[in-house]
Amino acid sequence: MFFSLNSAYAAIDTYEFKDAEKQARFHDLVAELRCPKCQNQNLADSNSAIAQDLRQKIYEMLESERSNPEIVDYMVARYGDFVLYEPRFNSQNAILWLGPFVLLIAGLLVVIFLVRQRGKDDSAKENTLELDAKQQKRLQKVLNKDKK
């Protein structure tokens, strides 16, 4: 981790920004955009030719006063949603965003159903345990007999 950060900053340092705000945005952008070639690295970490080109492009776009969403849209238009480390919600990945909530609700419904079912069973059992007056009398008789 330490080394990868180091190399990332070495690569970034070749770009000189006039104001610190742009430099901060540059750091954010190269961290959240993914290198299309090396796949498990962001643009900051990668030294592949394409990552260098894309860093150069981001630098140029920042210097020409383009906003962050514009730059991200530019990359997505060319390389697809793949380049985003923070994926957007769309029809293709909706199941991944919503799936857990659907499962959670389904699980809750099952739990509620089971608890209710069990509650019914318990009250049914209590009913059968209740004795009427005649049975109570007999029970007392039996218990008293035992004491003697």
Partner 1 sequence: MPRLLLFIPLALFGVLILFLWKGLSLDPRELPSALIDKSFPAFKVESLLQPERKLTMADVIGKPVLVNVWATWCPSCRQEHDQLLRIAQENKIAIIGLNYKDNRAAATQWLSELGNPYQLNIYDESGMLGLDLGVYGAPETYLLDAQGIIRHRHVGVITEQTWQELQTIMQSWGAN
12 vs 50 by CB, closer to partner 1:
50
Whether 52 contacts 61, CB under 8 Å = no
Interaction of residue 37 with partner 1, rule CB under 8 A: yes
113: amino acid identity, one letter: F
What are the distances in angstroms from CA 41 to CA 74, 75, 83, 85, 127?
A: 19, 16, 10, 10, 67
Please compute Rg for the chain using Cα positions.
Answer: 34
Least CB distance from residue 41 to partner 1, whole Å?
13
Interaction of residue 82 with partner 1, rule CB under 8 A: yes
Whether 54 contacts 43, CB under 8 Å = yes
Whether 55 contacts 30, CB under 8 Å = yes
53 vs 63 by CB, closer to partner 1:
53
37 vs 116 by CB, closer to partner 1:
37
Interaction of residue 89 with partner 1, rule CB under 8 A: no
Least CB distance from residue 49 to partner 1, whole Å?
7
Torsion angle, alpha carbons of 17, 23, 26, 27, to 10: 140
Interaction of residue 77 with partner 1, rule CB under 8 A: yes
Among 53, 63, 70, 73, binds partner 1 (CB under 8 A): 53
Q: Which stretch binds partner 1 (CB under 8 A): 7-15, 34-42, 99-107, 115-123?
A: 34-42
Q: Any idea what DSSP says for residue 37?
A: T
Interaction of residue 50 with partner 1, rule CB under 8 A: yes
Among 57, 66, 68, 84, binds partner 1 (CB under 8 A): 57
